[in-house]
Structure 1
């Protein structure tokens, strides 16, 4: 997604955190995972990953516990994952991943936001060849990690690429991180291999990576960013992937 995206995203998450908007979104993912595979994260890898990502956003333990408890309730809402494909301004393409208990409401809200901001919904499958789904993990760079050795070891578990990056922090300094990519079918194997090597994973996800990244002028980027922000402000929208460079 690039450094500019990380800066925008960091500011967005900071605002969400202050408004407690992101916690309900994370809670839905935890509830879905717990309902699907059980409430014990040690026996439920999907739940373990959901909790990991929630902690990375400083979600309180009580909120996490409450989300798991909701999944075990007899009257728990049936939350489903739905992905919509869309076209935005200036040739941008978007995958809009949602978690919802009311698909009719969600698709109506997403369509309305797109139309009001120069976008449109596409038929399912339209972007199949425009994005590749990857398993993505992030962890802090430390002196104890030999990156060359780690890269060689992880190839056997589905690693495709390892990169170093720097992420902006609230104190104005950058933090050095390692990001690895693998086939989405290798998510479980890579996750286990990292855990077995004592590496503390900070983020883990299945992402949609654009096959042909799109470069935009700054003014065009601002317009697209505004649309993405409005989509992500919807309570059912979990994440928006684009073909932006």
Structure 2
């Protein structure tokens, strides 16, 4: 009984720890989207997507509404900034941040890289050509035929449709077609479980297990930073 209780408590604490890191990032994404395109989700595709992503992570409605309201307040002033870096074994790292204090953000990131052998921040633009920016939508297989789904979504900018496990599918399109593809899914009444703009490596590399462990130590530190929204690498 004692071990079972400890296990449940540890599992609950792990979930709380995860939420404590995810919810602030989701809230920032909502606030930025509302700041850019208005607080009405029906008129703002980016905000609709940010809200859908938050709901997929079981973020409470009160948190979502508070994040939208912050877009009209002084504390809703966030900047979206990207940083680029390199690490051992040819690892390239593209970092997207949402911050109210860029000085703090870059100082934190530099500390992570400086504590990692042979890793460094590089000038912005150095890695731009190494990644393609794509609209990425994840969804479960709908009732309609997938060939029909593909043909319909092509008119909205679909470039590729990939099947994953558990009846999950991922749709890819150019980043400029994010709004159009969102509209396409809405027209087909296909619920999206997750949607985002991602940077996909043009030439992914394969690492050994030892090299991967080394890279993940740095990546974990970066991803845990409150100002970091997303991290992309060229690791396959």
**TM-score, length basis structure 2:** 0.90
Higher helix proportion (structure 1 or 2): 2
Q: Distance in 1 between matches of 2:124 and 2:15?
A: 32
Offset at residue 15 of structure 1 (A): 5.1
Any idea what the Cα deviations from partners look like across 1:75-133, whole Å, max 9, x if unmatched?
22410100001102211001100000011110110111011123200111111211000
- In structure 2, do the counterparts of structure 1 residues 77 and 199 end up closer, same or farther at CA, with 3 Å as the change threshold? closer
Structure 2 SS opposite 1:62: helix
RMSD, matched Cα: 1.4
Whether the 8 Å CA contact 1:33–1:50 is kept in 2: the answer is yes
2:175 alignment counterpart? 184
Deviates more, 1:57-66 or 1:148-157: 148-157
Q: Distance in 1 between matches of 2:182 and 2:76?
A: 29
- In structure 2, do the counterparts of structure 1 residues 50 and 204 end up closer, same or farther at CA, with 3 Å as the change threshold? same
1:23 alignment counterpart? 23
Q: Distance in 1 between matches of 2:16 and 2:125?
A: 31
Whether the 8 Å CA contact 2:92–2:234 is kept in 1: the answer is yes
1:200 alignment counterpart? 191
Structure 2 SS opposite 1:133: strand
Structure 1 SS opposite 2:128: coil
Deviates more, 1:150-159 or 1:225-234: 150-159
Whether the 8 Å CA contact 1:16–1:22 is kept in 2: the answer is no
Q: Distance in 1 between matches of 2:61 and 2:148?
A: 35
Q: Distance in 1 between matches of 2:233 and 2:181?
A: 25
Structure 2 SS opposite 1:205: strand
Q: Distance in 1 between matches of 2:140 and 2:127?
A: 33
Any idea what the Cα deviations from partners look like across 1:144-165, whole Å, max 9, x if unmatched?
1311111122122211110110
Whether the 8 Å CA contact 2:134–2:175 is kept in 1: the answer is yes
Structure 2 SS opposite 1:76: helix
2:3 alignment counterpart? none
Number of residue pairs matched by the alignment:
222
Larger Rg: 2
Unpaired runs of at least 5, structure 1: 1-13, 167-174
Q: How does 1:100-119 map to 2 (within 5 A)?
A: 100-118=99-117, 119=119
Offset at residue 18 of structure 1 (A): 4.0
Whether the 8 Å CA contact 1:114–1:121 is kept in 2: the answer is yes
Moved over 2 A (4+): 14-19
**TM-score, length basis structure 1:** 0.87
Whether the 8 Å CA contact 2:32–2:76 is kept in 1: the answer is no
